[in-house]
Amino acid sequence: AGNSGPDYFSGGSPASGIDVISVGASDRNNHLAYFSSWGPSLSYLSYPDIIAPGVNIISTEAPESVISDRYRFIGDYFDFSADADYLPLSGTSMSCPVVAGALAILKQAYPLITPETARIALLQGARDLSDVEDVEFLKSGFGLINVSASLDYLNYLNANYSNVNDVAKIAPDELPVQPYDLLNFPGDRQLFNLTVISGKNNNYNISYPIIIDGISLSIDKPQISFTDAGVNFVALKVEIESDATPGIRNFELNITSGVRLYDNITVSIEVRLPEYRVLLESYHGLNDWLPELSFYQMDFYDWMKELSDLNISIDYLAEFWTPNYNSNLNNSILTEERLAQYDLVVLQNPILPYSPLEIHNLKRYFDNGGNILFLGTRYQDLCVDNINELFSAINLGIQINEENVVDENWVGIGATVSTQSVTDFNNSQIFQDVNKFIWNYGTTL
């Protein structure tokens, strides 16, 4: 799966390929390794598939390699009397051979299974990791590998069906999954990309209840045909209707062929009425236009989830988080009608200037009791003059200075500096009696 965790979208090619079994890493306590990459892939596929041991795995040494020199320098190696020596290595590259060996065991037991059937057997046999925080689909997939349970699953298929490859799976097992679970309030909607795996050629139907109180469902492919074993995808759109009443809605999506039920997804949505509404305005922000200079929206998930749990509805549109989102087509300017829907508007790192009409609308919104939260960054990455014009229009009495406050990591010989003192600023009032700060970067006012 990759060693770039722990963050969403931290995996990549080749592990994110459609026909690839992506493998994350666990430690000796069956916890998810801190470095193990999380999903989804950029095409919103299920990722990773499964987890296997990947911390301090005894591996063969490549003599005189960079890794070998480093481990020998710190004395972390096994010096045996024979010609070959070994190192304790960590990474998903250590996890993958474990899964490859497991697949070999399954193939030895059932030589005629297709790769897709073997993949399904691995997923069906997996068990949850020890830490409940790790048991999230886009962190650990279907869980920790369990070869004996996967063999039991194949034995069951072999005993009950004429063809051990007559099997199919739809993933994930449950919806919604984090971080796509901000789905509680009227008007909330989410698009889920579901993975369908078939062990052989077959035609499947995907069914769901036609009527669910307060919930609208649509699916792009109610029927899927496989000419051979393979992988396909289904897009499920879920929307909470504007007049939905509070309560929990439970239902299932079933994948069937003829009279046989092959697999299903359990869906549970709690509908609540919001006490407050917040708009995360990204159309003008670095989040949409230059995300490499900012924080992409998903970094905000933890506090957005906490607000949602407090019955605060958050409207957001952002690259990576909103499937098929295009900032040029799917967002809009700040009209009076739009602003009037919200108790708080969050202006995120604006790089695209607000128009005179938008400044007028924001002033009226603010004068009528609306709340505005401004999130800044380095002044070079902001439309400073335009923002100062907005601040003047709403009579804040402050302006952004062309002066940065930066918390940089600097690594020197034998020293690492991760915070810096606050000294000699043009406008030092907010730093009175402050000698350190914890934010990464911003500007003085």
pLDDT confidence tier of residue 4, bands split at 50, 70 and 90: confident
Residue 57: strand pairing partners: 89
pLDDT confidence tier of residue 232, bands split at 50, 70 and 90: very high
H-only helix segments in 368-445? 384-393
The token pair at 7 is 């963050």
Q: Which of 255, 272, 276 is nearest to 264 (CA)?
A: 255
Cα separation, 140 vs 24, in Å, equals 7
For 411, residues 6+ apart whose C-beta sits below 8 A from its C-beta are: 417
pLDDT of residue 295: 61
Q: Is the model's pLDDT at 44 over the cut of 80? A: no
Cα separation, 350 vs 322, in Å, equals 20
The token pair at 76 is 């972390």
For 97, residues 6+ apart whose C-beta sits below 8 A from its C-beta are: none
Summarize pLDDT for 372-404 with one digit per residue, the tens: 999 888 888 899 999 999 999 999 888 998 877
| Mean pLDDT over the full length of the chain | 88
**Residue reference for tokens 């349970």:** 149
C-beta separation of 196 from 253 below 8 A:
no
What b/e readout covers 50-66, taking b as 16+ CB neighbours within 10 angstroms? bbbbbbebebebeeeee
% of the chain beyond a pLDDT of 70: 88
pLDDT confidence tier of residue 296, bands split at 50, 70 and 90: low
Summarize pLDDT for 195-230 with one digit per residue, the tens: 999 999 999 999 999 899 999 999 999 999 999 999
pLDDT of residue 404: 76
pLDDT of residue 254: 97
Summarize pLDDT for 280-294 with one digit per residue, the tens: 998 898 877 776 666
pLDDT of residue 47: 81
pLDDT of residue 430: 65
Query: Which domains, ranges and CATH numbers included, belong to the chain?
Result: 169-271 (2.60.40.2310), 276-400 (no CATH)
What pTM, to 2 d.p., does this model score?
Answer: 0.84
pLDDT confidence tier of residue 55, bands split at 50, 70 and 90: very high
pLDDT of residue 294: 62
Secondary structure (3-state) at 142: coil
What b/e readout covers 320-348, taking b as 16+ CB neighbours within 10 angstroms? bbbeebebeeebeebeeebbeebebbbbb
Q: Is the model's pLDDT at 419 over the cut of 70? A: no
